[in-house]
Amino acid sequence: MIQPAAFIRVALYLRTGSIELAADQSAVLLTCVGSVPRWRTVAVFCDINDGPTRPARAGALAAAQAGGFDLLLVTAPDRLTRSTDELRDLLARFTAAKVVVCTLDTGPHPPTGHHDGPQRSRSTAPM
């Protein structure tokens, strides 16, 4: 008997300046998750502010390190951080936790389909 494929546990991360923008970002991310049969949203982390403190991002990292999800979906890399050095560090920490960080940034990079999802750019290791 063939066993059905396991689900990919997806966490969403949003960073915006307003609740309205958070609703827009979450709708886009949820539509993406809904388009992939094996993906299931298991957590949503949302920072709504313009300051340097990102408690939801820290929560996402802690949940990743605890094995809470397999894939972190973000609309664009700058939603995680605008600092290249900090992004490199975050990607290394998520990678160490065995979590794939996937963005909806559809720039000129060739798509990959590692998680059977839509063809999107993804980052899994430090640059």
pLDDT digits (tens, 9 = 90+) for 5-39: 689 999 999 999 999 999 999 999 999 999 999 99
Does CATH place domain 8-123 in 3.40.50.2000? no
Q: Which of 126, 123, 67 is nearest to 100 (CA)?
A: 123
Average confidence (pLDDT) per 10 residues, the chain, 127 residues: 76 94 94 94 92 90 98 94 93 96 66 41 39
In angstroms, the CA 54 to CA 48 distance is 9
Total-model pTM: 0.79
User: Where do the domains of the chain lie?
Assistant: 8-123
